[in-house]
């Protein structure tokens, strides 16, 4: 019998002198220490020092306008400024470094210990964040397993490691309580009848509202990667990842900046008597401007959608060069005209300049444009430039878009 003494532990009786120390640690369930940061493997501080800045690598928000972060030595305050259209309430989360004291001046419902070790996401748009940050292994539940396109998440679903919990008004609270995640990320619309935020918090769950869809630029939406990163203490990684995304976007946009010919474009389709056209200050309009297009509603000053009649759209867009982003159910030109024979009056239909953003749809109808596309705006922009100015990006192959046959 031999005694082995490990750092930061009492003597342990070792039954076999030939075993490695690492094996002993695993067998005896001792949590290894990270001596450089004084944390254990769960990211918890072992010896709190009030003079230490536990977040030396800080996030800077450069494009998103909907959230802000304020750093203190051992906690971060995250504020959601624009939760949904005409929201009167700001949401605030206090992210406290594990192993350090909780600030007393905050409502305990707001306090979340970081780094979190488990998460449930109620929107597929949050899933690419987890993949980019390398924390898909922390994902234990999502709203609908069939809608997912993010490959790392799909593999985890196939392995039976992710539960389906429903969303909005149909969210399964009992299932969520059984999973007991450190955080549930969701979104809000301001409709108390369908939003899940209230019932989740009333059940005692920690909830983070992600309002990326309110951003009016592609990079603003993409930067919500940093919001997710804050909960995992992946601040430094998120800065590097987003900086690369933003730089790629800028390089691609620069290629189309000086084009002389800017094709005219309109988007959307007539849905139950209303044609919802993105406003001139929307992220769609920004994409089209950066792609070297002349968006026919660019003079509008709103960032939301404009409810228009078919007649109004036809009057302005009858001679437009291209028509983009229409119904996902249309598989070919026949489907389009069968839906409404007035569509045949558009020049873009006659010339066949019809491109839709549903080239990557899984067998259950989950469209990767609304999932991975938000996190990869440089790829979406490259597609648009390839459609409008193919000579600028001769080697690019359409990824999220394809031409309607």
Question: Is 43 part of a structural domain of the chain?
Answer: no
Could you give the number of structural domains in the chain?
A: 3
Q: What does residue 30 show for φ and ψ, rounded to 5 degrees?
A: -90, 130
Nearest residue to 295 via CA among 319, 264, 326, 258? 264
Output the six-digit token pair for 22: 């690492």
Same domain, 229 and 347: no
In the prediction, which pLDDT does 27 show? Answer: 41
Does residue 339 share a domain with residue 227?
Answer: no
Res 39: pLDDT: 63
Low-confidence ranges of the chain (pLDDT < 50): 1-36
pLDDT of residue 13: 38
Q: Is residue 177 part of a domain?
A: yes
Q: What is the pLDDT of residue 38?
A: 67
Cα–Cα distance measured from residue 216 to residue 49, given in angstroms and rounded to the nearest whole number: 41
Domain containing residue 393: CATH number: 3.40.50.1980
**Can you spell out the DSSP letters for 218-276?**
HHHHHTTHHHHHHHHT-HHHHHHHHHHHHHHHHHHHHHHTT-S---EEEE--EETTEEE
Q: What pLDDT, on the 0 to 100 scale, is given for residue 15?
A: 36
pLDDT at residue 33, as a whole number: 42
pTM of the full predicted structure? 0.87
Q: What is the reported pLDDT for 41?
A: 62
How many angstroms separate the Cα of 228 from the Cα of each of 45, 79, 115, 286, 338?
Answer: 21, 13, 11, 24, 43
Flag whether 53 is in a domain: no
Determine the pLDDT at residue 21. 40
The verdict on residue 44 lying in a domain is: no
- Residue 25 domain flag: yes
Same domain, 387 and 265: yes
The answer to the question of residue 343 being in a domain is yes
Do 398 and 277 belong to one domain?
yes
Task: HSE, CB side, 13 Å, CA atoms: give it for residue 115.
Answer: 18
Q: Return the pLDDT at 192.
A: 75
The parent domain of residue 353 ranges over 257-403
Q: Are residues 319 and 188 in the same domain?
A: no
The tens digit of pLDDT for each residue in 184-223 reads: 999 987 777 778 888 898 999 999 999 999 999 999 999 9
Answer yes or no: do 363 and 262 share one domain. Answer: yes
SS3 401: coil
Question: 185, 121 in Cβ contact below 8 A?
Answer: yes
Is residue 213 domain-shared with residue 269, that is, in the same domain?
A: no
The gap from C-alpha 56 to its chain's centroid, in whole angstroms, comes to 25
| Structural contact between residues 143 and 122, judged by C-beta atoms closer than 8 angstroms | yes
């Amino acid at each position: 019998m031999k005694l082995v003494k490990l750092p930061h532990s009492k003597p342990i009786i070792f039954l076999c002198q030939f075993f490695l120390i690492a094996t002993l640690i695993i067998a005896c369930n001792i949590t290894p220490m990270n001596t450089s940061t004084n944390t254990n493997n769960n990211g918890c501080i072992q010896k709190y020092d009030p003079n230490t800045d536990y977040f030396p690598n800080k996030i800077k928000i450069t494009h998103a306008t909907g959230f802000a972060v304020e750093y203190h030595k051992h906690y971060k305050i995250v504020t959601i400024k624009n939760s949904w259209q005409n929201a009167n309430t700001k949401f605030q989360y206090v992210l406290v470094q594990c192993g350090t004291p909780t600030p007393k001046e905050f409502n305990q419902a707001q306090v979340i210990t970081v780094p979190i070790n488990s998460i449930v996401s109620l929107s597929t748009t949050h899933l690419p964040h987890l993949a980019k940050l390398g924390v898909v292994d922390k994902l234990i539940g999502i709203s609908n397993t069939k809608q997912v396109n993010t490959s790392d998440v799909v593999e985890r679903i196939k392995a039976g490691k992710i539960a389906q919990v429903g969303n909005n008004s149909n969210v399964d609270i009992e299932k969520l309580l059984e999973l007991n995640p450190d955080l549930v990320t969701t979104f809000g619309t301001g409709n108390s009848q369908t939003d899940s935020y209230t019932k989740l918090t009333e059940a005692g769950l920690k909830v983070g509202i992600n309002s990326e869809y309110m951003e009016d630029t592609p990079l603003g939406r993409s930067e919500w990667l940093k919001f997710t990163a804050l909960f995992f203490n992946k601040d430094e990684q998120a800065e590097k990842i987003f900086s690369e995304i933003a730089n790629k976007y800028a390089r691609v946009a620069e290629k189309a900046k000086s084009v002389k010919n800017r094709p005219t474009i309109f988007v959307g389709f007539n849905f139950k008597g209303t044609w919802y056209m993105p406003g001139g200050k929307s992220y769609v309009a920004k994409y089209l401007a950066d792609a070297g297009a002349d968006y026919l509603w660019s003079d509008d000053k709103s960032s939301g959608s404009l409810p228009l009649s078919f007649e109004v759209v036809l009057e302005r867009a009858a001679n437009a060069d291209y028509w983009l982003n229409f119904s996902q159910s249309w598989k070919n030109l026949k489907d389009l005209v069968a839906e409404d024979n007035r569509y045949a009056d558009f020049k873009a239909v006659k010339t066949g300049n019809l491109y839709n953003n549903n080239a990557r749809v899984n067998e259950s109808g989950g469209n990767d444009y609304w999932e991975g596309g938000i996190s990869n705006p440089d790829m979406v922009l490259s597609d648009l430039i390839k459609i409008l100015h193919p000579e600028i990006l001769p080697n690019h192959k359409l990824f999220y878009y394809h031409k309607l046959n």
